[in-house]
Amino acid sequence: MRNVETDVNLKALPADAAAGADGVMQDSAPGHASDGRHASLWRTGRTSPRSYQWRVPALAGAAMALGAAALYNRKQARDAERRYPPIGRFLDVDGVRLHYVERGHGDPLVLIHGNGTMIQDFTVSGLVDRLAQRYRVIVIDRPGYGYSSRPRQLWTPRAHARLFRNALAQLGVERAVVYGHSWGTLVAVALALEVPSLVRGLVLGSGYYYPTLRADTFLLSPPAIPVIGDAMRYTVSPLVARAILPGMIKRMFQPAPVPERFEQEFPKALMLRPLQLRAAAEDAALMTPSVMELERHYRELTVPLTIVTGMDDQIADVGRQSARLHREVPHSEFIALPGLGHMIHHLAPDAVADAIDHTAQRSSRLWVL
């Protein structure tokens, strides 16, 4: 004889008896046992059919939002490139397409920009126009910035230096004074170490030379994470970067205000493209390990060296970075510009140009000797 109580079908139970408030199978009434098999499934944490009623639409909505963000960011990148087309020429060097500008005549002078920026960091500041009156000024978009490509590899300062060496060889440059700003100081130092015969004088502006904790390395690094970072930089990263960019730019110039010319002419929209976000993220992630390797070799620098910085730099601590480097490289000269922050070539282009002139003159005297 069949036991009716143990043959109860779940579908036959009233909805209010099928599950309690906690989603666990309940008895429909005292003395009525529920189906043990269904109850055990629910108690082991398997998802009830009702949960899919909100989970599936939520996942679909998230996927649609990310897709919409990707399309929006793609359009923004195209609009930025239409608004700010290349301003220079191109070189193909070691599988990298490099965008560069060359202005003026005279002894070669190479300017190397920092993290997140591009050639226009020097053209908009007016530094190129000042220096082109007496030098052959060469500015190259580092890999991944502006209109230079960035193949997948480890872009350490030394890797940059080898690329720059070969690019300058294509341009017929055998000896040059080199000015590096911020992250670009690492490339300038690496170039002097890798090819000492090429660099006749070195000017380092607002640099980071010794490992210390920096908030921007954590803030900028996530898009460098493999796979996850690739997804981020096409979807959420450009949106986040667009929101925080005004505050970041303000901090780069503090305590001075952001110059009107920078606000009006610098192609900020190019900074938000996925490739440039990857370049900035990778460079931020590599900054500390790079200086840990380079700091062991600073005393090997034998060329005339001038260290220049804003005395009130909010990005790179002056005492722990520029001043320390000056103490550890005995033949260096140190210039601290009062009341200025990180972007010294925008805030005091004449002072930076004077530091470059002074270094070039020192190197000329040594060359004659």
Percent of the chain's residues with pLDDT above 70: 76
Domain annotation covers residue 238 = yes
Q: What is the CATH number of the domain that holds 149?
A: 3.40.50.1820
At residue 73, the pLDDT reads: 74
Q: Write the CB contacts of 212 (distance below 8 Å, at least 6 apart in sequence).
A: 317, 320, 321
Task: Note the pLDDT of residue 176.
Answer: 98
Full 3-state SS string of 124-159: CCCHHHHHCCCEEEEEECCCCCCCCCCCCCCCCHHH
Task: Round to whole Å and give the CA distance between 14 and 215.
Answer: 58
Q: Which pLDDT band, with edges at 50, 70 and 90, does 63 fall under? A: low
> Is 122 inside any structural domain?
yes
For residue 12, which phi and psi values (nearest 5 degrees)? -80, -10
Q: Is 110 buried (19+), middle (13-18) or exposed (0-12) by CB count in 10 A?
A: buried
Mean pLDDT for 284-300 is 95
Residue 36 has pLDDT above 70, yes or no: no
Over residues 81-92, the mean pLDDT reads 98
pTM, two decimals, is: 0.80
Chain-centroid distance of CA 5 in Å reads 68
Tell me which residue range forms the domain holding 300: 78-368
Look at residue 351 and tell me if it is in a domain. Answer: yes
Angle at 248 between CA 156 and CA 218, to 5 degrees: 50
What pLDDT score was predicted for residue 20? 39
pLDDT at residue 34 greater than cutoff 50: no
Q: What is the pLDDT of residues 317-355, one digit of tens each?
A: 999 999 999 999 999 999 999 999 999 999 999 999 999
Q: Is residue 35 part of a domain?
A: no
Residue 16 resides in a domain: no
* Averaged pLDDT score across all residues of the chain: 84
Instruction: Please identify which residue in the block is written with the tokens 């226009």.
Output: 120
Distance from C-alpha of 37 to C-alpha of 39, rounded to nearest angstrom = 5
Here the tokens at position 177 are 């004074």
Calpha distance 331→350 (Å, rounded): 23
What is the tens place of the pLDDT at every residue in 246-268?
A: 999 999 999 999 999 999 999 99
Note whether residue 24 is domain-resident. no
How many independent structural domains does the chain possess? 1
| Domain membership flag for residue 341 | yes
Domain-located, residue 348: yes
Residue 19 is predicted with a pLDDT of 37
